[in-house]
Amino acid sequence: MATIVIQIVIFFICLSVHEAAHAWSAYRLGDPTAKVEGRMTLNPLAHIDPYGTFIVPIVLALIGAPVFGWAKPVSINPRNFAHPARDSFISALSGPAANIVFAVVISLVMRLISKNSLPYDILYFFVQVNITLAIFNLLPIPPLDGSKVWYLFLSEESALTLERFGPVILIAVLLFSSTANNVLLRFIGTISQFVVGIIS
């Protein structure tokens, strides 16, 4: 139970970094929506989604599955951007980028700690979660962050249509992955472990 609690807390912190980065970059690019809603903060309480932040991760941890979940989405109004398609893409990428930077910083701290210790193991899990979050969110499937790349190539109408069907597509991909020996999760896990091995 203590391990599960630590995993959930770490996951929550990493999600908060991710969402705060979205809010900050959107604000810097001209959209104050998330800042007004109080989302431009590292305070985890501002990013809570009851199901995605607590129920789903806890259930997955209890059954021994990879911990996965989500925070409350950051509200962004592209009409406030000088270049809506480009700036939406930049603000979307800021979340995964923040997780990668966070992972690198933690990995530097790990070099000062004995490998055979609890603090090292906790920091290592921090790195794993950050890298996994970054890679998963870079998939070009709505509503994931990587899907904003389509706004650079499709018309606004087509991109919005894709956004509407995105959750269905994502669920279908995850279901297919689970029936095909979890090919997607194994792919993400392999890349994550490779990146973690490099920086840690």
Q: How many CB atoms lie within 10 A of CB 36?
A: 12
How far is residue 68's CA from residue 5's CA, in Å, rounded to a whole number?
14
Catalytic residue among 19, 37, 157, 163: 19
Q: Annotated catalytic, 19?
A: yes
From CA 74, how far away is CA 96, in angstroms rounded? 14
Domain ranges for the chain, please list them. Answer: 2-199
Predicted TM-score (pTM) of this structure:
0.85
pLDDT for 116-160, tens place per residue? 898 999 999 999 999 989 998 998 988 889 998 888 888 878 888
Largest CA distance in the chain: 54
CA 47 – CA 144 distance, rounded (Å): 16
pLDDT value, residue 163: 84
| N- to C-terminal Cα separation, the chain | 27
